Structure 1
Amino acid sequence: MNQKIPIQFPNNISVYIKREDLIHPFVSGNKFRKLKYNLLQAKKESATTLLTFGGAYSNHIAAVAFAGKEQHFKTIGVIRGEELVTKVQENPTLKFAQECGMQFEFVSREDYRLKQEEAFMIRLKEKHGFFYLIPEGGTNALAIQGCEEILTKEDAVFDYVCCAVGTGGTISGIINSALPDQKVLGFPALKGDFLKDEICTFVKNKNWELIQNYHFGGYGKVNQELVTFINHFYEETKIPLDPIYTGKMVFGILDLIQKNYFPANSKILLIHTGGLQGVAGMNERLKNKKLPIIKIHD
């Protein structure tokens, strides 16, 4: 559903948001898209176990756990941070995943960096047997195939299509399915230019750009300005945003509009990629820092 944002913008610019967060109550947004064809492939390979990777508040971990439960897979999450082994019940994301039946393997941050090494994978296979591997963040060729279905025929009227960028899979699918006269803008949640090379491995089209100025210090970094913006946006539109991805993207778009980045009469589509399950964990961190919390419902 494309929902018009009820804010008056200058130069006759109109902004809509595609509510991908509403397509599933627990596997929402881009996670639903990324898992769709991976789960079909896992069944095709007669796999009964899904194994994946993530951090303490990973939307991907929560989504794989629920999708596995729903479709009768055993799930294993390799989690970054050995200290989390005693903190599962205090962490809303890990607690949810565990309640969905996910088995955890906690590893040090040093070992986690080696997760793509052959020796690391051999150890996992020796311990867990045969499993279907889903990469961290869910991005692979099958995930991008799923994300190519985000845009539909009704979206052909938009001049710009914008989304947050984590591992690069979602924007790659959008770039592949966007029309030649549409410009795709990505708003990375991480610092650094490495994402451009990642995206280039999956796309051939050139009608895209990464806007690097709205990561708020890097992945998982949030300040009072962003929290205030998210809460004000919700008060005005009743559209909840997460602080890691979509909140930063929407902040960036509205700032660029004020700076006359977009030509007059532009029609802009924002992709809401979900991620709202992570708000509970972020709010715990904000409370500990004595900062305002994020509101995603009345």
Structure 2
Amino acid sequence: MTGSRRTLYEPHNGRVNVHDLAAALEPRLPSPLRPADDDRFSRRGLRLLLKRDDLIHPDLVGNKWRKLAPNLAGAAGRPVLTFGGAYSNHLRATAAAGRLLGFPTIGVVRGDELAGRPLNASLARCAADGMRLVFVDRATYRAKGDPEVLAGLLRDAPEGTVVVPEGGSNEAAVRGCTALGRELRGRADVVAVACGTGGTLAGLAAGLGPGQRALGIPVLKGGFLEGEIRALQERAFGGRAGEWGLDDRFHFGGYARGAPGLTAFAEDFEARHGLAVERVYVAKMLYALVTQAEEGAFAPGTTVAAVVTGGPDPVDGNKEGVADGSTG
């Protein structure tokens, strides 16, 4: 954490742009692109690169900066209400942004049974950063897009509160993630990213150049994500943008679920490359890439870039088996 110091930004004529936020938060952009010497790729004539989005900002890590920045610019200092599960990276990033930039935040948390329990370290961090937590039952959470349900959630919120969707994935976030693709133009043939709500992949693919392909690895089961990504690109760009595809085989049973094999793989990758591997998203994406390389999915001479969208939670550690339903 960067401490409790507030770096306030002043809206100009009630408006803020991403440059204002960048000046206030000082993200590291473009994020580093580093080679990873890995014999599982090199012996097949492949080159592996790691796109270290986890180094963008200590609080708004990885794709959280890319997705949140345009939404916060649109909010222009007004209160923000958003959604997530008990271990949501998105909630933590939003709360941290509120602390750093000086605007109120409200987090709607899936699971009303959590209201009577001590806060886990993730939610405690949100609360410490000033976020007001509202716990709702699962039926209400699933219906959060319903106008009546949303109106009920906003009833006790400050006037002018701006709603940001779960995971931050909307058309503004998708357009923000095109910068990730632009940073990788001409640097890789295939760019892989783990997918929760699909917003990062939707923008990444649109930002890549001709001849490049984005590969999404869903961390939730259900096979619904392709339609979600198509819908996001339709709203952001008016139709499908860029070349992209999904491989649904590596969810390991669902969000925040894992297996001993995944844990062993992540520990081995850490030992090989000195990279602390986040288990919910990044480990599954890296496991998928190694599997695809072994299957011969990439032609010799292919350069594959893996987007490291975040690091392990520095407070709670990794949470295999915690199926809280959060996607961000």
Compute the TM-score of the two structures, normalised by the length of structure 2. Answer: 0.82
**Count of residues paired in the alignment:** 282
* In the alignment, structure 1 residue 14 sits paired with structure 2 residue 43: no
Q: Is 1:101 matched up with 2:130?
A: yes
Q: Which moved more, 1:257-266 or 1:274-283?
A: 274-283
Describe the superposition over 1:14-56 as per-residue Cα deviations: whole angstroms up to 9, x where unpaired.
000100000101110000101111111101xx62x11001100
Deviation readout 1:251-270 (Å, 9 max, x if unpaired): 00011101111000100111
Q: Which runs of structure 2 are paired with 1:1-298 in the superposition (5 Å)?
A: 1-8=32-39, 9=41, 10-43=43-76, 47=78, 49-89=79-119, 91-130=120-159, 131-153=161-183, 155-203=185-233, 204-205=240-241, 207-277=243-313, 280=316, 282-283=318-319
User: How much has 1:145 moved relative to structure 2?
Assistant: 1.6
In 1, Cα distance between equivalents of 2:245 and 2:321: 32
Distance 2:317 2:86 in 1: 9
Indicate how the Cα distance of structure 1 residues 215 and 278 shifts in structure 2: closer, same or farther if over 3 A, else same.
farther
Unaligned runs of at least 5 residues, structure 2? 1-31, 234-239, 323-328
Cα deviation digits, residues 204-258 of structure 1 (max 9, x gap): 2351110111111111111111111111110110112211111100000011101
Q: Is 1:51–1:76's contact at 8 Å kept on the other side of the alignment?
A: yes
| Separation in structure 2 between the aligned mates of residue 77 and residue 245 of structure 1, nearest angstrom | 22
Alignment-derived partner of residue 236 in structure 2: none
Asked whether the 8 Å contact 1:92–1:281 carries over to 2, the reply is no
State the superposition RMSD in angstroms.
1.7
Q: 1:217 to 1:123 in 2, by over 3 A?
A: same
**What TM-score results when the alignment is normalised by the length of structure 1?**
0.90
Instruction: After superposition, give the CA deviation of every residue in 1:171-190 in whole Å (9 maximum; x if it has no partner).
Output: 00101101120111100011
Q: What are the ranges of 5 or more consecutive residues in structure 1 without an aligned counterpart?
A: 287-298
C-alpha displacement at 1:276, in angstroms? Answer: 2.4
Q: Secondary structure at the match of 1:79?
A: strand
- Percent of aligned pairs sharing the same letter: 35
Deviation at 1:285, TM superposition (A): 6.2
Distance 1:87 1:254 in 2: 40
